[in-house]
Structure 1
């Protein structure tokens, strides 16, 4: 994903978050977490490679969680 496309996606996510309730955000976060773990499990990667994948995406996940927390605090 290019930087500009990533920025566009983040902006779209911010707009969606502004319209969501706290419960919807928690449900969405749980759904995303479930999908990530399901994809990793179904990939049949070794545990070390699974940890490597999680290490690569942890900053994006952290950014989204921080954004959700900021929106929740403003509600």
Structure 2
């Protein structure tokens, strides 16, 4: 049986797997580019966790640009 994929990860782990720096992640949270309970949550112990599914939804919600369009 396969283990369930992890949905919530720390900012540090998210930086490792996504390519975004920890500073960039914190800035997106501070600037409210990423909404609480959509892309990140605060755990009961106060740590900020990134919702990987929410991040994927955010990425897929961006307008699509075609090559050569400006």
| TM-score of the aligned structures, taking structure 2 as reference length | 0.28
- Structure whose residues are more often helix by fraction: 1
Instruction: State the structure with bigger RCO (CA 8 A, min sep 6), 1 or 2.
Output: 1
- Structure whose residues are more often strand by fraction: 2
| TM-score of the aligned structures, taking structure 1 as reference length | 0.27
